[in-house]
Structure 1
């Protein structure tokens, strides 16, 4: 393809490279923090870039353990993230910890909880039903838990547990369904864990307000006609 203006072509390449680099950085940072903060209820990360500094907001169920005694652990994490991802950058990095209010609606927290239950030797069916009940009691519309691997016999199989209403396709499934995967290393092999939670509401990225499903229909009460007495 022939380009009349080379500056436009260079800017397109730089934009594409920037988006790719941002996505790779987000994935690597998420994997790095998930490995370190697995026992502290790590539930995700958000990166905010400003001209002066880069803010990394860590969401977890136990923020006290993430911060550490007098903020010691968060300073250690800041130093690790600075050396690992921003070694050649002039921008400073600052880490913050944000508490997840309802851990029952967080798929990452529930997948990690199920993983530790299986590592302790709890029966798969009992552990999955316990997680399922906790999710539904927390206000979820529906949920699904899938455990695959060598559960009892030598042959690998999958066990699926579902409750409530859960959508799997369409654009609303990206906004209303929270998904997380984990793996548990047991004696008989590796078990794969997948948790899906159907949230009651989702935040609209454009307006910032809670949104509902597009096929949701609300029936209003009929108006009562008052007839004047003669």
Structure 2
């Protein structure tokens, strides 16, 4: 679906919020329903830390994760140490199956229009008890 090497910038020596938000914007404009980028390692200081960038709608549990989430992990070797990049992309539902899974999400509710009903005119029926019916009327 998405090639991770096209998305992540070539120069990761100085990773910044601007670069990660640019990646998020590119992924969302490409037709994804949601995405998450996690960059961890020694970013600016000697102490390692992790930064998360999220946009859109992302599911994280259940069977649809296997169908809807496309994820990749890459390690970048820098002079200071190793930088880890995780990218998770949630694909949109595609009935034809070209850009995403063919099965819809299980929590989607479809409301169908009401059916046309024929209106019947009902004549009331009178039920007469047997004792009253047996008495002759004069």
Q: Note the 1:54-133 alignment, pairs <5 A.
A: 105-106=1-2, 109-110=3-4, 113-114=7-8, 116-119=10-13, 121=14, 123-133=15-25
CA distance in 1, matches of 2:20, 2:62: 27
Q: Map of 1:1-80 to 2, 5 A cutoff?
A: none
Structure 1's unaligned 5+ residue stretches are 1-104, 204-208
- In structure 2, how many angstroms separate the alpha carbons of the residues matched to 1:200 and 1:174? 13
Question: How far is the alpha carbon of 1:125 from its aligned partner?
Answer: 1.1
Rate the CA distance shift 1:110–1:226 in 2: closer, same or farther, 3 A: farther
Match of 2:90 in 1: 198
Does the CA contact (< 8 Å) of 2:33 and 2:90 recur in 1?
yes
Q: Aligned to 1:210, what secondary structure does the other structure show?
A: coil
- Ranked by relative contact order (alpha carbons within 8 Å, sequence separation 6 or more), the top structure is 2
- Say if 1:111 and 1:195, in contact at 8 Å, map to a contact too: no
Q: 1:111 to 1:216 in 2, by over 3 A?
A: farther
Q: TM-score, normalised by structure 1?
A: 0.44
Contact 1:181 1:192 (8 Å CA) reproduced: yes
**Residue matched to 2:26:** 134
Which of 77, 81, 84 is the equivalent residue of 1:189?
81
Structure with the larger helix share: 1
Q: Determine helix, strand or coil for the equivalent of 2:38.
A: strand
What does the per-residue CA deviation read over 1:176-219, in whole Å, with 9 as the maximum and x for residues that have no partner?
A: 1000000112222110000000011278xxxxx81111111122
- Where structure 2 has 5 or more consecutive residues not aligned to the other structure, the ranges are 96-100, 120-138
In structure 2, the residue matched to 1:174 is 66
Change (3 A) 1:161 1:111: farther
TM-score by length of 2: 0.71
Q: What corresponds to 1:216 in structure 2?
A: 108
Q: Distance in 2 between matches of 1:212 and 1:145?
A: 25
Please give the alpha-carbon distance, in whole angstroms, between the structure 2 residues aligned to 1:224 and 1:187. Answer: 72
1:91 corresponds to: none
Larger radius of gyration: 2
